[in-house]
Amino acid sequence: MDGVEPRRGRAYRHWPVIVALMAGVVVGRLVLGAGGGATAQGSNPAATATRTAEVAELERLRRTVAGTVAGTPIAECPPLAASPVATPVAPAVAGQPLPYDEGWTVTVVAASDQAPTAGQSDLGRTVRVDVVVVNALPDARQFPFPDWILIDRDGRRYGFSIVGSSNLGSGWARRVEPTLPVEIAIAFEVLPDTAGPFVIESDAEPTFRVAVELAQRG
């Protein structure tokens, strides 16, 4: 984990410091013992045994630290689990009413080519999508078409065209009265080589996906 060092790892890193301190203590005692002369060592077998035990303990600690650092990996944070990738919802077939966010019901009826109109981009092609929306709440309100995205056969994504939809004249921005089905046409500006089948998605409603074929308008 970034910025957080495991407790066990910190403990292992302090072992060399601990050993160095103990080595200093042992060496100090040995030096003091040496300053007392051979007579002191000979006259105090208990002190000699203590120093011998301390040296043995120091060697044991040195081997323990060496074995820990060389033979056992320092504890690390477990790797982060891979983030689950959301599986797209299978698209519904056009022509059936589908529930939508905040009390709407939507039916994608059809998609067709539409001749570009004044004020649109230079992409040179427009796909018209005819829908029917029903407002299930008690107040008149506007359907959030700008959240919609059109995806072509090659996975290219196209945003909702405000200018193109306005030029169709069906009143995409109107306030829809409660309970009454309302037919609305909207537009997406696409590249000239765009081909279907298309999928319509919503940035606001991940479960809303509709597959629609491109029909020729008579």
CATH number assigned to the domain comprising residue 197: 2.60.40.1240
Residue type, 213: E
Question: Tell me, what DSSP letter sits at residue 146?
Answer: G
Please count the structural domains in the chain: 2
- If you write DSSP's letter for every residue of the chain in order, what string do you get? -TT---HHHHHHHHHHHHHHHHHHHHHHHHHHHHHTHHHHHHH-HHHHHHHHHHHHHHHHHHHHHHHHHHHSPPP-PPPPPPPPPPPPPPPEETTS-EEETTTEEEEEEEEEEE---TT--TT-EEEEEEEEEEE-SSS-EE--GGGEEEE-TT--EEEB-HHHHHHHTS-TTSEEPBT--EEEEEEEEE-TT--S-EEEEESS-TT-EEEEPEEPP-
Instruction: Tell me if 195 is assigned to some domain.
Output: yes
Q: Between these two residues, 85 and 210, which has the higher pLDDT value?
A: 210
pLDDT tens digit sequence for 154-191: 999 999 999 999 999 989 999 999 999 999 999 999 99
Residues 60 and 67: their CA atoms lie apart, in Å, by: 10
Instruction: Tell me if 83 is assigned to some domain.
Output: no
- Same domain? For 55 and 117 the reply is no
- Same domain? For 21 and 51 the reply is yes
- Same domain? For 104 and 146 the reply is yes
Query: Which of 71, 106, 127 is the endpoint of a domain?
Result: 71
For the chain, give the number of residues: 218
Instruction: Tell me if 77 is assigned to some domain.
Output: no
The mean pLDDT of the chain is 77
- Same domain? For 191 and 103 the reply is yes
Instruction: Tell me if 82 is assigned to some domain.
Output: no
- Same domain? For 59 and 129 the reply is no
pLDDT at site 143: 98
Instruction: Tell me if 130 is assigned to some domain.
Output: yes
**Cβ proximity of 195 and 138 under 8 Å:** no
Instruction: Tell me if 81 is assigned to some domain.
Output: no
Kindly state the helix (H) or strand (E) to which residue 209 belongs, with its residue range. Answer: strand 209-212
Instruction: Tell me if 51 is assigned to some domain.
Output: yes
Instruction: Place 36 in a pLDDT band, splitting at 50, 70 and 90.
Output: very low
Residues 116 and 124: their CA atoms lie apart, in Å, by: 6
Instruction: Tell me if 80 is assigned to some domain.
Output: no
What are the backbone dihedrals phi and psi of residue 69, each rounded to the nearest 5 degrees, phi first?
-70, -40
pLDDT tens digit sequence for 85-141: 567 789 999 999 999 999 999 999 999 998 766 655 566 789 999 999 999 999 999
- Same domain? For 52 and 15 the reply is yes
- Same domain? For 96 and 202 the reply is yes
- Same domain? For 104 and 209 the reply is yes
- Same domain? For 96 and 198 the reply is yes
Residues 62 and 66: their CA atoms lie apart, in Å, by: 6
Is residue 78 scored above 60 in pLDDT? no
- Identify the domain containing residue 185 by its residue range: 92-215
Query: Which residues on adjacent β-strands are paired with residue 114?
Result: 126
Residues 202 and 195: their CA atoms lie apart, in Å, by: 20
- Same domain? For 181 and 148 the reply is yes
- Same domain? For 140 and 181 the reply is yes
Least confident range of 39-48, 86-95, 138-147: 39-48
Is residue 13 scored above 70 in pLDDT? no
- Same domain? For 98 and 67 the reply is no
